[in-house]
Amino acid sequence: MMMNIFSKKSAPRLMLFFAIGVLTMPIWLDPVGANYPDLLQKFAIFGIFAIGYNILFGLTGYLSFGHAVFLGVGSYSAVWSFKLLTMNVIPAIIFSIIMAGLIAAAIGYVSLRRSGIYFSILTLAFAQMFYNLAYSVLTPITNGETGLQLTMHDPRIIDNALSRTVETGLPSTDFFGISMNGYSGFYFCAVMLIIAFYIYLKIFSSPFGMKLKGIKSNQKRMKYIGSDTRPYLIAAFVISGMFAGLAGSLMAVTDPLAGAERMQWTASGEVILMTILGGVGTLFGPLLGVGIIKYLENIFSAVNDSVLHSFYSFLPQWGENLLVTITAPFVGEGWHLTLGLLFMLTVIFLPGGVMEGFQKIKLYFQNRNKPDKSNNSSEESSNV
């Protein structure tokens, strides 16, 4: 299954379909009420975050609990670039990726001395340190709880030198004159997602990616055959940190404010949930996970009793009330409950996430068509 995706012939076609799929999101997400810029931007941004996370966790099996740090670092760097240099987003993005990469190199260098749960706890400890410091001592850099914001008196050296100044009010982020508000912001993020996905695809199919998969399946064997895994692990960690940095900078591009909450361990937990829910280690799984969770968070959480009542209004009064009572705890404020249940069911029954579910359904239909080959294909499925 996997192999033919990577074959030289189909890779460009895959990219083309992917690009079209991403860019037409405003059209095909409209019927489900998800077509508004903020949510579309979130899909793209967290998509980048999740595929980056998948490079580390999906390929090497190293479970990092501190990836949100790079998201935060990316955001802060980008906002500082807006404040000090220019409102153009390109320097901000480059600066963010570099900063996130540097911090990832430092954390990765230390944390990757250990593996397993020790690695997880080390990344968690670093993440909590960054988060707590951002709230307290680093306030001059992060502006604490309020979050780092643009002000009218920011120096913006480059903008001022080019006299690209705004007469009144706060400037907005732009890509050579195109404002990054609303849909143009989404298209920018979407293009970034497509580029990131291309790199991700290349990494998956490269010898480097194979090496990482080797680490996941058996690190000892890799060591015995004389292959030092540490440089590969650090490289994977830094790359995935840079993806997170890019995602963080895009959060600042679409909304120039950086808050410390996006560095909390629960934010790292969220990307783990996304990756697992969709299917860890699979190509598209993390993106599916992002879609499901962000959709739940934004659409489900806004459903309240009156919406439910109108949804069930075709039923008789008592049936309507009964169903509203049953469903109410799972929507609105209770969407976390739905998420937790969904997640548990996934880990219990579909450790491979939604992607494994698709695979099973597909196999089921294949097997119905060709019953004689059933043994063969079910074995194949476990490798996916």
The reply to whether 175 sits near other proteins by the rule CB under 8 A is: no
- The distance of closest approach from Cβ of residue 179 to other proteins in the complex, given in angstroms and rounded to an integer, is 4
* Residue among 91 and 269 whose Cβ is closer to other proteins: 269
- The distance of closest approach from Cβ of residue 371 to other proteins in the complex, given in angstroms and rounded to an integer, is 31
The reply to whether 115 sits near other proteins by the rule CB under 8 A is: yes
Answer whether 100's CB lies under 8 Å from 130's CB: no
3-state secondary structure of 35: coil
Count of Cβ atoms closer than 10 Å to residue 361 Cβ: 10
- The distance of closest approach from Cβ of residue 372 to other proteins in the complex, given in angstroms and rounded to an integer, is 32
Selected from 7, 13, 340, 362, the binder of other proteins by CB under 8 A is 340
What is the rounded CA–CA span in Å between residue 292 and residue 276?
12
* Residue among 30 and 380 whose Cβ is closer to other proteins: 30
Answer whether 306's CB lies under 8 Å from 313's CB: no
The reply to whether 227 sits near other proteins by the rule CB under 8 A is: no
Answer whether 258's CB lies under 8 Å from 252's CB: yes
What is the rounded CA–CA span in Å between residue 166 and residue 168?
6
Task: Tell me which stretch binds other proteins (CB under 8 A): 8-16, 140-148, 203-211, 357-365.
Answer: 140-148
* Residue among 4 and 168 whose Cβ is closer to other proteins: 168
Selected from 99, 112, 150, 308, the binder of other proteins by CB under 8 A is 150
Selected from 79, 100, 196, 339, the binder of other proteins by CB under 8 A is 339
3-state secondary structure of 178: strand
φ/ψ of residue 258, rounded to 5: -120, 120
The reply to whether 110 sits near other proteins by the rule CB under 8 A is: yes
What is the rounded CA–CA span in Å between residue 39 and residue 101?
27
Helices (H), 328-382: 335-349, 353-369, 374-381
What is the rounded CA–CA span in Å between residue 231 and residue 223?
12
Answer whether 37's CB lies under 8 Å from 192's CB: no
- The distance of closest approach from Cβ of residue 323 to other proteins in the complex, given in angstroms and rounded to an integer, is 17
DSSP state of 179: E
3-state secondary structure of 175: strand
Answer whether 290's CB lies under 8 Å from 305's CB: no
The reply to whether 106 sits near other proteins by the rule CB under 8 A is: no
* Residue among 201 and 244 whose Cβ is closer to other proteins: 244
Task: Tell me which stretch binds other proteins (CB under 8 A): 96-104, 233-241, 254-262, 356-364.
Answer: 254-262
The reply to whether 37 sits near other proteins by the rule CB under 8 A is: yes
Task: Tell me which stretch binds other proteins (CB under 8 A): 191-199, 281-289, 310-318, 334-342.
Answer: 334-342
- The distance of closest approach from Cβ of residue 31 to other proteins in the complex, given in angstroms and rounded to an integer, is 13
- The distance of closest approach from Cβ of residue 38 to other proteins in the complex, given in angstroms and rounded to an integer, is 4
* Residue among 37 and 367 whose Cβ is closer to other proteins: 37
Selected from 259, 278, 289, 352, the binder of other proteins by CB under 8 A is 259
Residue ranges in 40-79 that form contacts with other proteins under rule CB under 8 A: 42, 61, 63
* Residue among 5 and 138 whose Cβ is closer to other proteins: 138
- The distance of closest approach from Cβ of residue 301 to other proteins in the complex, given in angstroms and rounded to an integer, is 7
- The distance of closest approach from Cβ of residue 42 to other proteins in the complex, given in angstroms and rounded to an integer, is 8
- The distance of closest approach from Cβ of residue 292 to other proteins in the complex, given in angstroms and rounded to an integer, is 14
What is the rounded CA–CA span in Å between residue 27 and residue 190?
14
- Which amino acid is it at 60? T
Number of residues that bind other proteins (CB under 8 A): 82
Answer whether 356's CB lies under 8 Å from 350's CB: yes
What is the rounded CA–CA span in Å between residue 92 and residue 97?
9
- The distance of closest approach from Cβ of residue 309 to other proteins in the complex, given in angstroms and rounded to an integer, is 15
What is the rounded CA–CA span in Å between residue 38 and residue 373?
47
Answer whether 150's CB lies under 8 Å from 79's CB: yes
The reply to whether 38 sits near other proteins by the rule CB under 8 A is: yes
* Residue among 83 and 205 whose Cβ is closer to other proteins: 83
